[in-house]
Amino acid sequence: MKAKDLRSLAVEDLQKKDNEMREDLFKLRFKHGIRRLENPAKLSQLKKDIARVQTVIAEKKQNQSA
C-alpha cells in the first residue's frame, strides 16, 4: 500500500484500516507460532504498512491542529 493512496483517505478510514491490519498481523503471528507460513515476508510487509498508516494519521492530525 502506497502512502499516496493513504493520504486520500479520511482519518476515520485510516484508523479502521489500522485496526484491520493489526488484527491480520495478530492472526499471522499466531499461525506462524503454530506452523510455518507460506510467505513469512508478509509479516514484515504488514508491519511496514501499519507504520505507513500511522504516519499518515499523525500527519493529518498535525495538519488539523496547525
**Tens-place pLDDT, residues 3-34:** 889 999 999 999 999 999 999 999 999 999 99
Tell me the HSE value of 6 on the side-chain side, using a 13 A CA sphere.
Answer: 21
| pTM, full prediction | 0.89
Residue by residue, what is the 3-state secondary structure of 38-54? CCCHHHHHHHHHHHHHH
pLDDT in tens, 49-61: 999 999 999 999 9
Distance, CA of 66 to CA of 52 (rounded, Å): 21
Distances (CA, A) of 65 to 3, 35, 58: 21, 46, 11
Question: What value does the mean pLDDT of the chain take?
Answer: 93
- Selected from 2.40.160, 1.10.3470, 1.10.287, 3.30.70, the CATH number assigned to the domain covering 3-65 reads 1.10.287
